[in-house]
Structure 1
């Protein structure tokens, strides 16, 4: 008798729909009777099924959700595990995992990536079975970074795996790193603090040896990386978000911020309104133009952006920055003010000889 009760409750448990879907006791009873008309299900009543749900609710706790406010009340399975040993995901959970796999790149440590594979497999299977909007969502969204045309720097996957693992386990890292402009790589003993992908380039944020300075190390300039057994030293006041927000990736040209004043055609000012240069940006009208003021860091990124705007933006102040814009744009214009030379074909003109004199142009 006890064996029949256990078998019946096991069948009830497997028949529960995954949240957010749910079912009523009468509908659940009808389903069980239609799929298993013999054995422990034969003769099952609504009252017996209600007692089974109460027993299972006590045994599994929050994994079974019972909405007793509904009449008749509704029941569903909220656990992540599927009762056949697999993984049970909702459509929303499956979509989130598929998008994570699409966009995470190599920033998940290898030791965790392997453990996530069953979830990724089940998530794609779940979406493939669906016919709603969620099933097609991964084919309709993409994330693009603003960077120059062409391919980003290539990073060895082994380097990324070791760096991520050292960061994950808070271990020191020995890296052979080639600084910009140098041909040979030197050995660095690094304390990893964070990993940032900016404009298609991976940067390890770290301190070196016993120095307190926080520096950036581009992963594509690493030729070798080995995780050490020693624990990395982490400054107690270091915060990755604060480090990024401080403009650390902007390559500042001056220590103190400046008040930038721009003159922008009125029809183009909406871009600055949608994406302000700073929190204190203020825009006023000036005839067919607008004047935008903002306190910003004078950085290489700022000047590159100003140059990229061409005639759409005029730098009014500071005067030194305006003078730099004039000089830079003038130098950029000089090659285009020269006559365009025909490209060389690579063929050499034959030399004149007594037998083959050089041809003369007609007068």
Structure 2
């Protein structure tokens, strides 16, 4: 039985080309698992399995020690077999999480996705991926096109903690060349952003991946700014585009009955308060940040929301209404 288990482990350790593993490396992996074998035993096992016709892995002829690999087109072998629950997990990863994974990991997982398809084919869970979808909360827009070669450089830079040089096209000007110190990726809707600093500055920037062009990986290590934390950065509201460094406000609005229902189910803030008014409308008060995202969101309710406080925000909406009146000839 130990011999059969050892065979299974050996087959599992052999990668697909262009990757490979040497006989001494296989020996070390087996010994780390507790198998008491020597190099001759491992070599004999490899020759026996590869020549059996059952397992189409092979070795390089021109290297010493020999390097073993599965051909690119060979099917993934899984020991023990993938369960239906595991297969479903892989299918959901393929369906929803692919954009979040490095390119090298996507290529590696392709075999597992194919194996999951085969496993689910005769399972009661086969149709579950067809019954689950995610949809955007806002108006659907087509995703921007990202240069594939640039994307490879960005992912490699993140994986290897190295900087890269690239042209970046800002909204208001022509492309400029930057040395980018990448810190992480953030996905918002169908747009991917790189959190990074430029050269040796400490302020974190949001750089849309589709605006990069002609990226080159540099042999220069990434430096992480002091106190940098992606979760703290996002929680601070930076991706909602604050209107001022200290943008905390007490928002007071007059809302219609259907908006009251909506915001009672999904509050603006933990301290949100809603009180009834005599005209059938409601008064809502909540602690929020004054951001461009908040203003876009308020505009989406049209006449169902009236901004009462702060006065500066009310005046901004009043000016917007006046401009819209001119545009529509009212």
**Do the structures match in fold with TM over 0.5?**
yes
- CA RMSD in angstroms comes to 2.6
Q: Is 1:186 the equivalent of 2:180?
A: no
Equivalent residue, structure 1, for 2:290 = 298
In 1, Cα distance between equivalents of 2:151 and 2:136: 20
In structure 2, relative to structure 1, the CA distance for the partners of 1:103 and 1:245 (3 Å cut) is same
**Correspondence for 2:320:** 328
State how far apart, in whole Å, the 1-side matches of 2:153 and 2:99 are.
Answer: 11
| Residue 98 of structure 1: aligned partner | 91
* Candidates 146, 149, 158, aligned match of 1:158: 149
Q: Does 2:267 align with 1:242?
A: no
Q: CA offsets, 1:36-61, max 9 Å, x none? A: xxxxxxxxxxxxxxxxxxxxxxx99x
1:152 is paired with a residue whose SS is coil
Does 1:317 pair with 2:309? yes
Q: State the alpha-carbon separation in 2 of the partners of residues 293 and 155 from structure 1.
A: 42
Q: 1:251 aligns with which of 241, 249, 266?
A: 241
1: distance between equivalents of 2:113 and 2:262?
Answer: 39
| Partner of residue 207, structure 1 | 197
Gaps of 5+ in 2: 9-33, 36-75
Which segments of 5 or more consecutive residues in structure 1 lack a partner in the other structure?
Answer: 1-5, 15-58, 61-83, 339-363
C-alpha separation between the residues in 1 aligned to 2:169 and 2:259?
A: 43
Task: Provide the C-alpha distance between the structure 2 equivalents of 1:209 and 1:298, rounded to a whole number of angstroms.
Answer: 31
Counterpart of 2:160 in structure 1 is 169
Partner residue in 2 for 1:109: 102
**In structure 2, what is the equivalent of residue 86 of structure 1?**
78
SS of aligned partner of 1:155: coil
**SS of residue matched to 1:291:** strand
- In structure 1, the residue matched to 2:266 is 275
1:136 aligns with 2:127: yes
Q: TM-score, normalised by structure 1?
A: 0.66
Paired residues of 2:98 and 2:106 also in contact (CA < 8 A): no
Q: 1:298-339: per-residue Cα shift (whole Å, max 9, x none)?
A: 11111111111011111111112112112202212333236x
* Alpha-carbon offset, residue 243 of structure 1: 0.9
| Aligned partners of 2:184 and 2:196 also within 8 Å | yes
Partner deviation per Cα, 1:10-64 (whole Å, 9 max, x = no partner): 69xx9xxxxxxxxxxxxxxxxxxxxxxxxxxxxxxxxxxxxxxxxxxxx99xxxx
Offset at 1:272? 1.1
Residue 149 (structure 1) shift = 4.1
> Counterpart of 2:134 in 1: which secondary structure?
coil
* Distance in structure 1 (CA, Å) of the matches to 2:226 and 2:136: 32
Equivalent position of 2:117 in the other structure: 124
**Which stretch of the first structure deviates more once superposed, 104-113 or 318-327?**
104-113
Report how far residue 244 of structure 1 moved.
Answer: 0.8
Q: Which structure: larger Rg?
A: 1
TM-score w.r.t. the length of structure 2 is 0.73
Q: What is the rounded CA distance, in whole Å, between the counterparts of 2:108 and 2:137 in structure 1?
A: 32
